[in-house]
Structure formats: C-alpha cells, structure tokens
A and B are shown apart, each in its own frame.
Chain A
Amino acid sequence: MRALEVAGATAFTAALYWACSRVQRRLRNSLLHPLLLSVVAGGTLFSLLPPVWLDAYVRGSGPMLWLLGPATAALALPFYRRRAFLAEHPWTTVLAVVVGSATTIGVVWALGALLGLPGPLLRAASLKSVTLPVALGLAELIRTQPGLTTVCVFTSGLIGSAVGPPLLTRLGVRSPVARGLVLGTLSHAIGTARALEEDALSGAAGVVALTLAALLIGGGAIVLTLLLR
C-alpha cells in the first residue's frame, strides 16, 4: 500500500510538473513559472477531490521530501564555482546581503505587527527571501507551515524578479554586481535566473548572494531558536 502511494505521488508530481513546464514553454511568460502553474492546478484538483486523496499524496511524498535534504547540500556547488566573485567583491557582497536581509525582515516584522498578522504567517513571511530548500528546513525549526512558506518564498521570487529590474534601473542602480546582489538577496533562485538573463556577472552575484542570505537568515533563526527555548 505504502509503495503504491509513493509510486503514485512521485508519478503524479513528475507528470504535473512536466505538463506545466510544457505549458510555460508554449506561453513564453516567465511569470507563469511551472511551479506556480503546478501548485495552482494540483491545488485546485485536490480541493475538489475528497481529502483522502491529498492524505495519500502527502504520505506518498515522503521520499521526495527526503531528497530535498541532499538537494540542499548540492547548493554548495553553484556557490563554490563562483567563489572568485566573493573574493573579488567581499565587502560589497556582505554589505548588500546583510542590509538587504535585515531591512526586508525588519519590514516584515514591523508591517506584520501593524497589520495584526498571526504568528505562523509572520514566521512564514520572515523566511520569504531564503532559497526554498533551506527555507523549508527552517520552517520546521521555527514551527511554521511548509505550504505557506513555499507560497511566501515563491511569490517573493516571482514578484521580485518582475518588479526588481525596472525599479533598480529607475533608482540608478546600473552596476551588474549591485543588481545581481539585490536580486539574489531578495529573490533567491528566481531572481538569480533573472539576473543571469541580464549579465553573467549579475548571475554570479545572484548565486553568491542567495547562498549567503540563506546562511545569514538560517544562522539568525538558529540563534533565535536557541535563545527562546
């Protein structure tokens, strides 16, 4: 029974993602990311079906969730390959990542408190600029929902890569290094893909920034958890 659920959940995930990738390629709109299309299509399907279907899917998705662990470790490689960028721009990189991460989390907390956002939503929103595999590990740590975290992280990536480049141009931020650092820090992998479309140097800046932002916010979450327990 369990093996059947695993096979079914894996096949369903692969088929849905593949179909949505085809749709995106045909529509050629980078905002219609295959993950967005798959979550909307799959989410609509599961909310129409009796809840036992989603229960079976969740039980069957255990091995895929486990794979997120080694995949998180694999993020070391893209960073390692661009270590020359960090050696060349150490202070600019650290400054942009620290200031960008601290500002965005500060605004999440201030605006969230002002608008009365409940705890789990506030915690999920705090993780929005962390690359998703790391954010999901942190979500478990700070006791917030993985689905909400996925949605928060993903919307930051999509909206950030759509509004970021024109906003930076209007601000006079023209250096590819600065643009890549901003897109990587605030919009992780999706922002980095957008930065790479502009310039290879921007793409390298994005990869370094997204990894450092994840380590910085991850370190912060771990320290806060240790202090509060």
Chain B
Amino acid sequence: MQALRTGLQLLLLGALFAACRSAVARSGLPLPAGLLALLVLLALLLTRALPERAVRSGADALLRILPALFLPPGLGVVRELHLVEGHGLALAAVLVGSLVVGQLVAGVVAQAAVQRERR
C-alpha cells in the first residue's frame, strides 16, 4: 500500500514537472522548469489546494535519492576539465575567498539582527 502511494505521488510530481516544462517551452521564458515546479508546488501547499500528505512520501523518496542523481552531471566534469586548465588556482581562490567573506558578513549581520529581535 505504502509503495503504491509513493509510486502515485512520484507520478504526480513527475506530471507537475512535465507540465511546467511544457509551459516554459511554450512561453519561451528563460526559466528553469524545475524552479517553476518548486514554486507551483509551494503555492499549492501554502494555499492548501494540495494537502502535504498528497506528496509527502513521493517527495521524501525523491529527496532520499537526490545525492545519487547528481552523479551524472558531476561525472560530466571529466569532459570540462580543459576549461579549468591554467585557472585552477584562481578558481579555488575565488570559491574559498567568496565563501569565507560571505560567511563573515552574513554571520555578523545575522547575529546583530537576532540581538535586535530579542530587544
């Protein structure tokens, strides 16, 4: 019973994404279909047009296998390594530098905002 429910919910989420993909293709808007599907699902949940239990087990199943789904695009990097040649150190510096500065600034701002909330 549980497997059937999860299967049906997966179909529902798949149909939602397929509908968003065809809407994006028809409109010609520069919008990733997955992002649109996320917004539509969130709107359906927030307006209670769709109860959480109607997608819960399907969504949880997808989120459980999500890390493995990143493997195909991740392995594609083998074909893209020539783009990094000669820029490896610069890319690493940009990634680490922007991350640490972002954390420092966001950390100070968030802590100050939390203290203001308490007052």
Q: Which residues of A contact B (CB under 8 A)?
A: 9, 13-14, 16-17, 34-35, 38-39, 42-43, 46-47, 54, 57-58, 61, 64-65, 67-81, 83, 89, 91-92, 95-96, 99-101, 103-105, 107-108, 111-112, 115-118, 120-122, 125, 128-129, 132-134, 136-138, 140-141, 145-152, 154-156, 159-160, 163-164, 167-168, 171-175, 177-179, 181-182, 185-187, 214-215, 218, 222, 225-226, 229
Contacts and interface: CB of A to CB of B under 8 A. Distances in A.
Overall SS of chain B's interface:
helix
A9 to B, nearest CB: 7
Contact of B102 (A34, A64, A104): A104
A85 B32 CA distance: 27
Contacts of A38: 71, 74
Given A96-B109, A99-B105, A118 B98 contact: no
Overall SS of chain A's interface:
helix
Nearest to B105: A103
Given A13-B71, A71-B69, A117 B87 contact: yes
Interface in B74-101: 74-80, 83-84, 87, 90-91, 93-101
B115 to A, nearest CB: 8
Contacts of B23: none
A40 B77 CA distance: 10
B59 to A, nearest CB: 4
Given A134-B32, A138-B32, A121 B107 contact: no
Contacts of B7: none
A136 B30 contact: no
A61 B100 CA distance: 35
Contacts of A154: 70, 74
B104 interface: yes
A178 B111 contact: yes
